[in-house]
Structures are given as C-alpha cells and as structure tokens.
Copies of this chain bind each other. A is one copy, B any other.
C-alpha cells in the first residue's frame, strides 16, 4: 500500500520530520512518500494561503494517482484543495481536519481544537459545520504562534499544554485535537501531562488520524463518493 503525503508549502523544512512522524502511524505494509509543492505559500494560515496552494496541491494529487499511489494525505489542517482534488481522482484523498474531527467524535462527546493563530479559527469552525459535527465542539483555541515558529518544540509544547489545560478545565473538552500538522511529535507527551494532572483527555495528532483514515479506506475498498464529488465537466480552462 503506497500513501503519498503532500506537504502543501514551498519549503522542504518539515519533510523529514513529517516522514518520521508518519511512519509511527503506518502498518508494516504501508509505504510512505513525501512531496512538496513548487508554487504557493511558505505556510498556510489564511484562506488566502489555501487559495494560493490549492492549484499545485491538486496537480500533485492527480500525479499521485497516475503514479499508482493508493491514497493521498494533504498534510495541512485546513484541508486545502481537498474538494477539488476529490473531484479529479478516484483514490482516497484526506486532509487533516476531517479525520481528526471524526476521530475526536469517536473518543469523546465534546472536544476542542488548539491551533496556531486566531486567523484560522473561523475557517476551522466552517469546516466543522460542513462536516456536520459542530455541536460536538467545546472550543477552538489558539497558541498565538505562527506555523513557521513551531520549530522550537520546547516553547510551543508548553503553550499547547496551557491551552489544552484550559480547554479541559474551562470549556469542558473531553478530548483535544492539535490543530496544525506542524505540531509534530508532541501529542503523546501532552496526553501524559494531562493524565498526570488529573485530566486524562486524549490528544489527537492530526497525522495519526489522517493516516489511520487512509488505511481504513484503502483496506475497506472505500473512497470518497463520486456522486458527492463528481468529475468536473469538460470545458476550456485557461491557466
């Protein structure tokens, strides 16, 4: 089973860590690959960034299907390009938001998201509405930290812990999703800290949810519905 991860930014800075992170969540028969996009933003923190990244993302998804991949993970929490990509291919395509939100629904009645910046909070609420699970959200919080400053794990994991703690104590969250795929390698530590503090909430790494969903779909002979994501009609399109 071959799964390709598309890191939808022009930098390759996260690639090796993404591959290492992903490997933890893959079965022995899963082969993971990572690619980047050539045109688009250095990070995704707005609807504008998503718009800029989407055309290159969809090109990469189409290429992945042609090259025999069994599934594609668009490695961003805002699910950029997912709808358009699903219209263009038959193999499973997931972003990070949908699998994470659905996993949280499976683990707890009410859950929170802790993301990077206030800029993306309304977009995440929109995604939850589209998915039909908004009533399960306890809160959407942020750590006021841009994606490109997520390099120093010591710093951002403390900020995450502070917000996760408030989500659990003040907002009634029974599970928490890390709301950016750049928050790598910290979910288990956070989960342990919360349990030690007497608030045992699952902390969902979005990469775990996304790769788990792709494996579920591929092993189940499933993919997104082609009556929901219909192929675009043929016509002139000028790029």
Q: Is A118 an interface residue (CB 8 A)?
A: yes
Kindly identify, within residues 213 to 231 of chain A, every residue whose CB is under 8 Å from any CB belonging to chain B. 213, 215-217, 219-230
Q: Which 7 pairs, one residue from A and one from B, show the smallest C-beta to C-beta distance?
A: A212-B216, A27-B27, A208-B220, A46-B232, A108-B225, A47-B83, A174-B228
Q: Is A152 an interface residue (CB 8 A)?
A: no
Told that A102-B103, A215-B216 touch, could you supply 18 new A-B pairs with CB distance under 8 A? Answer: A10-B238, A27-B27, A42-B236, A47-B83, A47-B87, A48-B87, A83-B123, A107-B222, A110-B228, A122-B228, A129-B130, A174-B227, A175-B225, A200-B225, A200-B227, A208-B219, A208-B221, A212-B217
Kindly identify, within residues 165 to 215 of chain A, every residue whose CB is under 8 Å from any CB belonging to chain B. 168, 174-175, 187-188, 191, 199-202, 204-205, 208-209, 211-213, 215
Assembled-state Cα–Cα distance A215/B219 (Å)? 11
Q: Is A75 an interface residue (CB 8 A)?
A: no
For residue A84, give the distance in angstroms from its CB to the closest CB of chain B.
4
Out of B55, B87, B135, B223, which one reaches A132, CB within 8 Å? B135
Q: Is A114 an interface residue (CB 8 A)?
A: no
User: Which B residues lie within 8 Å of A220 (CB)?
Assistant: 25, 103, 204-205, 208-209, 212
Which residue numbers of A lie inside 8 Å of B, CB to CB? 10, 24-30, 38-43, 45-52, 54-55, 58, 81, 83-84, 87-88, 94, 98-99, 102-103, 105-110, 117-119, 122-123, 125-126, 129-136, 146, 148, 168, 174-175, 187-188, 191, 199-202, 204-205, 208-209, 211-213, 215-217, 219-230, 232-233, 235-239
